[in-house]
Every structure is written in C-alpha cells, then in structure tokens.
Amino acid sequence: MSKKILIVGGVAGGASAAARARRLDENAQIIVFERGPYISFANCGLPYHIGGEIELREKLLLQTPESFNNRFNVDIRVNNEILAINKEAKTVTVRDLMTEAEYTESYDALILSPGASPFIPPISGVSNHLTHSLRNVPDMDAIIVSIETNKPKHATVCGGGFIGLEMVEALRHRGIEVTLIELAPQVMAPVDIEIANVLHQELELNQVELKLGKALQSVAAITEDVKSLLLTLSDDSTQQTNLLIMAVGVKPETSLAVQAGLTIGELGGIQVNAFMQTSDSAIFAVGDAIESPEFTTGDAMLAPLAGPANRQGRLAANVILGHNAEGNEGYKKTQGTAICKVFDLAVASTGLNEKTLQRKNMAYEKVYVHAMSHAGYYPGAHPVTLKLLFNPENGKILGAQAVGKDGVDKRIDVLSVAQRAGLTVYDLQDLELCYAPPFGSARDVVNQAGLLASNVMKGDEVVCHSDDVKSLTENQLLIDVRSAQEVSNMGMIPGAINIAVDDLRANLNQIDKQKEIIVYCQVGLRGHVASCLLTNLGYKVKNLTGGFKTWKAFNY
C-alpha cells in the first residue's frame, strides 16, 4: 500500500525530501505545506539581490508550486500553515491563510522542515517599520521597499554572522554608510580571532564602522516622520541610523514539535536519531530546526546550512520508503563546512575551531600557512592564509580555516573531504592536486600545511604561537630572521633582535646557547630554515608558526 507523506516546509530540507520520495515511489501521496508564498527559493541569495549582484528577483525562485508539481507530481500547498499535530491520530490541523479555513490531513509519515527563524532580542522599541530581519523573499522585498522609499543615508546591522556580513556588503554596494554592531569581540564566529581580524581590516577598508563587543540596548524614533532611529548600545553610547537590520542569529523553529510533545534537545533544536526520526517514529525532522551530531565529537550542534539539510531530507525519504541501502548507518554527522564573501575576501571553515577545542578541553596543535593562491609568477596570484588544527597524538584533522581573495573554497573543500575520509596530516603532504601556473602551485597550500604539521608531529620542528611571545622570560631569546629592510618597513615583535637568516652563521656569538631561541620570519618559511640551522648546531629552538604575519593578525 502506498504511503501518505506530509512535509512541513519547503526550501532545502523539505523540497529535497519531497523530490527524493517521488523518485523512489511514483504512487506515494506527497503533500508539502508552506506557510509562506514560496515553496523553493534561494535564501542564501537574498542579500545579493538586495545589493544588486543578482539583478532579477525571479532568479531566486527556484521552483514554483506548478513547476514542482509538473515534475514530481507533488501537491504543493503554499500559504497553508500547520497549526497542530495529533500524534495518536496521525493527523495535522491546517489553516489556509488565504481563506482562513481550517481542515485536517492524515499521514503515514510526517517530515518537519520548518527551518530557523531570526532571533530578535527583547529590545525596547525594536518593533518599527525601519527595522528588518532577513529570512525569506517577503523579508527581502520589505528591505528593498524600505531602501527605495526612505532612501537611507546610514544603516546599522546588528550581528556579524553570515547574514550580517552579507547585508553589510549589500548596503555598501548601494552606497549606504554602514555601522556593524557585534556583541562578540569578532565577526564570523566559526573562525578564530586571527582569521576574523583579517575580515575586520577588510570591513574597515570598505568604510564599514565596526563596533565590536557591544550590543543593542534600545531603539527610539527621533524624527516626526520616523525616518531615523536613535540606537542606544550596551556601553550607553548612541548611534543615529535610518535603517536597522537585525541579524544577531537564528533559533530553531520548534513550536510545532513542542506542541506535539516531541523531545527538544539541550541546544533548543528538535532531537532526532541517526535516521532523522524524532521521539515519535512516524515523525521525522530535518534542516535548521534539528540538532545534528558534530563530526569529530558526536556532540549535538545546530547547523543552519543548506548542504546538511539536503542530505537529511534525502535520508528521511529513504527511511520512510524503505530504501536504506545507502543509509544503513544513518546520517553521517555534520562538519559545518561553510564559506562567506566579505567584499573582496572569502572566509571559509570546516570542522572545529580553536575556541571550541579549548572549551571542550580537547588536545590539539595548530599550524599556519601563508601562500599564494597559484604560482606567484603568474598574474593574479593572491595570498591565502590557512589555519590547520589537528590531533597531536594521531594527526587526525580537527578543523581548518582560510581567508583570502582567491582559492579559499578549493582548500577548505579539500580539507573537508580529507577530514571526512579520516586522513591525517601525513596524508595531506602527499595529496596530488591540480597544478598549472594559473591554478595552483606544485606544492599546494594544503600540501604545505601537511608538511608543516607532519614536521611538528615527527618532532622535526618545534613550533610556538603568537600567545607564547607576549611575555618573554630572561631565559628566552626572540630573533627576527627577516632582512633589515623588512624590519624597517614593517616593524617587529617587541623584545626581538634582528639577525637575517643568511647572516645567522656569521653572528652565532650573539646567540646564547643557554637560552631557548624563538625564531620568526614573515610567514614561517625562513623561520623553518633558521630553526633547522640552529637546531643542528645544538641550540634549543622554536619557530613561530605563521611568522610575523600571523602575529600581526592576532594583534590587529
């Protein structure tokens, strides 16, 4: 007997579940409910239409109810909201938002894909017509209307995550002055401070005013026609603005699950098993609303990302229709691989960051590589900064972050695959990656990271980090091995002496063998050469991984 499958919510999780279910069973009855007017839209593209990079609004509408039904024979009901779930009767109560009529629909299997909603803190005065969040097409339309109607000279964006940064860029593209307010000491929480500081510099280069470590406290209208707002921040400073974008984060949409008595996890998302089943085996949940297991630890995490939502929707359909050949082990965890464009830069990450590793008291080591996106002698090469985190006992990859103008996605994608495949840093040095001068280098950025990490693992090089040179003891000597010209142009770390790497042998009398020697250069390579030289002469040496460039990023 064919099954009746109800799906609550479209976009990534719900639409992929519906399409997969139809491909598996032509006779299944499939109904998708969406309380908004659009069943499948490119929500990640919304800021780029606001900024003008995506000119045509229609490009964001991936499927209409008619096109989806024509291809997959799925009953798409937009503007229909699920009000309640009756687990015992296996029914849902639905309201048609166009007619206000309510009706009941039965199911054999129910898939919840309601997504996540913008989190709006309980701030006095935040509900006004100049304040917007961005989750869907109507939100996007409202922001565009506000810009075209009120013609704001200044906008404020609260929140430095993906949406916040994308909206900052979109508003600047429209010629609007922008202030970015972020409660944390950095933007882009998935990366660590030294990577985020590169973004801070890029934002300031594009005339974005940064207010980090601050939060919005209250909002007040300050003109009679209400075309301006007065914002009061947590430090009691004030900010006048004509448009306010709230992008402080999202929270899982769990109201239906709570009403139905389904188990909610500690992080506030719907709890599911490896086969996307909730605490009721006939009800599945996918996408931004659920807690999924993090790849390395298996701990619950919230991952509002399209890739995992697609995989989860497909898996739920497989399980419901008994097609488990490819998914007997269930969902294979979430790495959180993501990328964001910030003006001319891209920033990407996969796996765990250093902050999380410290919070979880996990052992780790880290190395930094600063290299060109392709052969430096070929025009158009740009620097890529890569941070690699790994287990110091077995070399397993724990996470990676990269920032740069070009080639960032390629490197993080490779490292994401390597982590999922269980490769170690030793394997990275042997990866055979594409090389031609316009595309890469004979020894790619990823290979370089693998070589450096392997040297650390084998004890061929001892590294230290920027935090280690904050306060030197009398038993340590910090040597800058760059040229005198570089030091003159760029400065050097306080407390260091300058002996160029090519002059080390002639100046050994300046280097006390009784002290621990810390060497550094611009990016780490000459520091490695100096470290090997001095180590072979019997000195106790550490090389500052990432060199002066990483130290400067830490201290931007």
Catalytic machinery residues: 44
Check: CB of residue 200 under 8 Å from CB of residue 186.
Answer: yes
Query: DSSP letters along 23-81, please?
Result: HH-TT-EEEEEESSS-SEE-GGGHHHHHHTSS--GGGGEEE-HHHHHHHH--EEEETEE
Q: What is the DSSP letter of 243?
A: E
Burial of 528 (0-12, 13-18, 19+ CB in 10 A): buried
Report the distance separating Cα 137 and Cα 50, nearest Å.
Answer: 11
Count CA atoms within 13 Å of residue 536 on its CB side.
8
Report the distance separating Cα 388 and Cα 298, nearest Å.
Answer: 20
Burial of 341 (0-12, 13-18, 19+ CB in 10 A): middle
Report the distance separating Cα 28 and Cα 26, nearest Å.
Answer: 6
**Whose structure tokens read 């929270």?**
251
Provide the Cα torsion 159, 53, 60, 284; round to 10°: -30
Residue type for 141, please?
A: D
Dihedral of CA 293/425/467/489: which sign?
Answer: negative
Q: Coil, strand or helix: which one is 248?
A: coil
β-strand partners of 154: 177
Cite the DSSP H helix spans in 102-160.
137-150
